[in-house]
Structure 1
Amino acid sequence: MKLVVQVKLLPTPVQAAALEATLDACNEAANWLSGQAFARGRTSRAALQVLAYAELRARGLSAQPALHVLRKVADAYTALKANLKAGNLGKPGSKRHARVTGKPIAFRPGAAQPFDDRCLSWQAKAGTVSIWTVAGRMKGIAFTGSAVQLEMLADHRKGESDLLWQNGCWYLLATCDIPERELNDKPDGFLGVDLGVVNIATTSTGARHSGRRLNRTRERDRTLRCKLQKKNTKSAKRRAKKHAGKEARRARDINHKISKSIVAEAQRTGRGIALEDLGRIRERARLRKPQRVTLHSWSFHQLGKFIAYKAQRAGVPVVYVDPAYTSQECSQCHHIDRRNRPSQAVFACRSCGFVEHADLNSSHNIAARGWWMWVRGAESQAPVLTLIA
């Protein structure tokens, strides 16, 4: 499977200036090419190469960087067409659809630029890289990362690496091809995972990952963000920019920890993992306005992806089940009734009298559905994902 390892570059001022000029030149060329592609309606790689390769070389780009700019623009338009076809950018005729399709795709000055092994070489033992720039080949640029990342980089790096400038720092995103463990095709049952807001994840073995403390922190972040947006002064904007992404980074860290714990438990007990198929939950859920903010701001999809790729790497099978009525169904007698949930945390079956924590009861139902899907041969294994380690 493929993972993306992010390492931080530690360039000298001269090296940083060369990297900045390189990214500016590549993205300026990409914006020019995007405008040409939009105006002429030619967005495929082959068409763009015939149209603009010579011009890109004349703009100071070497052969490989010029080809990477061509591919970056073509891939951006391919992704745009796929999103339009899937309806992710609004219906034809809507304001959002018209705004997206009415102008060429733009690339910001610090947008990532891919480099292959002809343009960038790694010296893993020395902890440095050599990279092509518009000022010539820059050698000896130091990089750093965690011990796990550096080990993975040294043993499994393969393919292109992306140069990225973000929040005043330079990064390289390196693709690594990680060997997978053999899939456990005879799991000893399934570990059901119920995802929620009060409890972010509850497993059928009774493990609960509470979200109460996190939700209070996120509420304070939202209050601060609204206050700064209303103030709208220069100092407020600086403070808002400083806090930008803080909540997302915190949520990502928590999702990594939860997914790691769930996959480790499933692997240790020889089980598979059963998850609810929560696709388009925001459109299906009917909630009051204050509840919508909490639901829409939590990254259920990200947690599910983290569980999926960690399970794939560990050889743990993953199935996705229909989430309908998992919170209203009794895990003992399978009686379904809305009145089985007298409160958010309590499940009390109106038929057999079974009482249990509501999230734990749901996780039992998810585990049972996962096992029956596997038995019927409708298993849904963890998909191939490309994620930042």
Structure 2
Amino acid sequence: MKVVVRVKLVPEADQAAALRSTLRTVNEAACWVSAVAFERGVPREYELRKHTYAELKARGLGAQAAQHVIKKTRDAYTTLRANIRAGNLGKPGSKRRVKAESKPITFRPEAAQPYDDRCLSWQLDQRTVSIWTTAGRLKGVQFACSPDALTMLCGHRKGESDLIGRDGEFYLIATCEVPETPLNENPAGFVGVDLGIANIATTSTGYKAAGRGLNRHRKRQLDLRRKLQAKGTKSAKRLLKQRARKEARHAANVNHIISKTIVTTAERTGSGIALEDLTGIRDRVRLRKDQRTQLHSWSFHQLGQYIAYKAKRAGVPLVYVDPAYTSQQCSQCGHIERKNRVDQATFACRSCGTVLHADVNAAHNIARKGETVWTTGRESRVPAIET
């Protein structure tokens, strides 16, 4: 399976200027290629190359850089069409979809630029890279990363790497091919995971990741942004820029910790993992205005992605189940009634009298559904009858 490792470049002043100029040049070129592609109805990559390659070379791009700019642009349109087909940009005629379809795709000045082994070489023992720029090849550019990331690079780096700029810093996103652990075909059971806002994740094994700390952090960040935006001074804008994406980084770190705990528990007990399929929940749920910010800040999709790739890497089976009635059904007797859910935290069955934490009860229901999905969905292991 593919895993990405991010390392931070530590260039000198002249090297940083060359990297900045390179990203600006290639992304301006990508915007021009995008305009050509849009005008010609987004042709295939080979045909698009015929219309743009010579001009890209004239702009000072090397042969490999020009090829990567064309491919990057074509891939962006492929992604856009996939999102449109999946309905991620709304229904036909919606404002968001019309806006996306009515103009060429544009690229930010510091957007990622792919590099292959012809344009970028790694000297892992010295922690340096040699990288192509519009000002020539830069050698001996230092990079910094954790010991685990360096070990991953030494053992598994393969394929392209992306150079990105962010807030004046430069990073390389390297692709690593990691061997997959064989999938556990006969799990001992399933760990049900109930995702929520009050509790980010609650499992049927008793693990509970409270969301109070993360929600408080988000509220503090929101209040601070409001104060700085209302102030509007030069120093306030500088502080806003410095704090950009801080909330997102904190939430991602929390989700990594939670997902690792869940997958490690399932791996240790020989179990699989059952997650709710929450696709489209933001469109289905109707909330008061003061609750919408909290809902749209809920990063359940990111947490699900983290659990998925960690489970795949560990060989842990993962299934998605229908979340319908998991919060209203009793995990002991199976009785379904809306009044079983007394409040946000309490579940009390009106049939058998079982009292549980509402999220724990839902997690048990999800675990049971996961076993059903796995049993009915996997291939039959019955030996073929000889004739």
> What's the TM-score bracket when you normalise by the shorter of the two chains?
over 0.9
> What are the equivalent positions in structure 2 for 1:180-219 lying under 5 Å apart?
180-219=180-219
2:18 is equivalent to residue 18 of structure 1: yes
Paired residue type of 2:66: A
The alpha-carbon deviation at position 14 of structure 1 amounts to 1.5
Residue equivalent to 1:333: 333
Q: Secondary structure at the match of 1:366?
A: helix
Distance in 1 between residues matched to 2:94 and 2:181, nearest whole Å: 47
Residue equivalent to 1:272: 272
2:348 is equivalent to residue 348 of structure 1: yes
2:258 is equivalent to residue 247 of structure 1: no
Residue equivalent to 1:385: none
Distance in 2 between residues matched to 1:172 and 1:79, nearest whole Å: 22
* Residue deviations 1:77-117 (CA, integer Å, cap 9, x gap): 11112222222223333332232222211111111100100
2:262 is equivalent to residue 290 of structure 1: no
Residue equivalent to 1:383: none
* Residue deviations 1:131-156 (CA, integer Å, cap 9, x gap): 11111111111111011111001110
Greater shift in the superposed pair: 27-36 or 89-98: 89-98
Greater shift in the superposed pair: 132-141 or 323-332: 132-141
2:109 is equivalent to residue 146 of structure 1: no
Distance in 1 between residues matched to 2:84 and 2:209, nearest whole Å: 37
Q: Secondary structure at the match of 2:377?
A: coil
Q: Secondary structure at the match of 1:264?
A: helix
Distance in 1 between residues matched to 2:287 and 2:352, nearest whole Å: 29
Paired residue type of 1:164: I
2:152 is equivalent to residue 157 of structure 1: no
Paired residue type of 1:208: K
Distance in 1 between residues matched to 2:6 and 2:129, nearest whole Å: 14
2:81 is equivalent to residue 77 of structure 1: no
Q: Secondary structure at the match of 1:307?
A: helix
Is the contact between residue 43 and residue 77 of structure 1 (CA under 8 Å) also seen in structure 2?
no
Distance in 1 between residues matched to 2:7 and 2:61, nearest whole Å: 25
The alpha-carbon deviation at position 378 of structure 1 amounts to 5.2
Distance in 1 between residues matched to 2:113 and 2:343, nearest whole Å: 51
Assess, with a 3 A threshold, how the Cα gap between structure 1 residues 165 and 219 changes in structure 2: closer, same or farther: same
Distance in 2 between residues matched to 1:292 and 1:340, nearest whole Å: 26
Paired residue type of 1:108: R
Paired residue type of 2:19: L
Distance in 2 between residues matched to 1:98 and 1:286, nearest whole Å: 25
Distance in 2 between residues matched to 1:357 and 1:95, nearest whole Å: 42
* Residue deviations 1:318-366 (CA, integer Å, cap 9, x gap): 0111100101100000000111011111110000001111111111101
Greater shift in the superposed pair: 228-237 or 191-200: 228-237
Residue equivalent to 2:314: 314
Distance in 2 between residues matched to 1:367 and 1:308, nearest whole Å: 16
* Residue deviations 1:31-79 (CA, integer Å, cap 9, x gap): 1111122222234211111111111111111111110011011111111
Distance in 1 between residues matched to 2:268 and 2:139, nearest whole Å: 45
Residue equivalent to 1:305: 305
The alpha-carbon deviation at position 190 of structure 1 amounts to 0.4
Greater shift in the superposed pair: 30-39 or 116-125: 30-39
TM-score w.r.t. the length of structure 2 is 0.95
Is the contact between residue 30 and residue 107 of structure 2 (CA under 8 Å) also seen in structure 1?
yes
Residue equivalent to 1:367: 367
Distance in 1 between residues matched to 2:127 and 2:84, nearest whole Å: 42
* Residue deviations 1:229-266 (CA, integer Å, cap 9, x gap): 33333333222222221111110000000000000000
Residue equivalent to 1:107: 107
Distance in 2 between residues matched to 1:295 and 1:265, nearest whole Å: 28
Greater shift in the superposed pair: 227-236 or 281-290: 227-236
Paired residue type of 1:319: V
Distance in 2 between residues matched to 1:42 and 1:309, nearest whole Å: 33
Distance in 2 between residues matched to 1:32 and 1:286, nearest whole Å: 42
Distance in 2 between residues matched to 1:320 and 1:287, nearest whole Å: 25
Residue equivalent to 1:384: none
Distance in 2 between residues matched to 1:2 and 1:167, nearest whole Å: 27
The percent of aligned pairs where both chains have the same amino acid is: 63
Residue equivalent to 1:28: 28
Larger RCO, structures 1/2 (Cα 8 Å, 6+ apart): 1
Is the contact between residue 9 and residue 143 of structure 1 (CA under 8 Å) also seen in structure 2?
yes
Residue equivalent to 2:67: 67
Q: Secondary structure at the match of 1:376?
A: helix
Distance in 2 between residues matched to 1:58 and 1:180, nearest whole Å: 44
Greater shift in the superposed pair: 219-228 or 347-356: 219-228
The alpha-carbon deviation at position 293 of structure 1 amounts to 1.9
Paired residue type of 1:305: Q
Distance in 1 between residues matched to 2:75 and 2:377, nearest whole Å: 36
Is the contact between residue 42 and residue 77 of structure 2 (CA under 8 Å) also seen in structure 1?
no
Q: Secondary structure at the match of 2:202?
A: strand
Distance in 2 between residues matched to 1:285 and 1:91, nearest whole Å: 18
Paired residue type of 1:113: Q
2:94 is equivalent to residue 94 of structure 1: yes
Greater shift in the superposed pair: 162-171 or 223-232: 223-232
Greater shift in the superposed pair: 232-241 or 258-267: 232-241
TM-score w.r.t. the length of structure 1 is 0.94
Cα RMSD after superposing both structures = 1.4
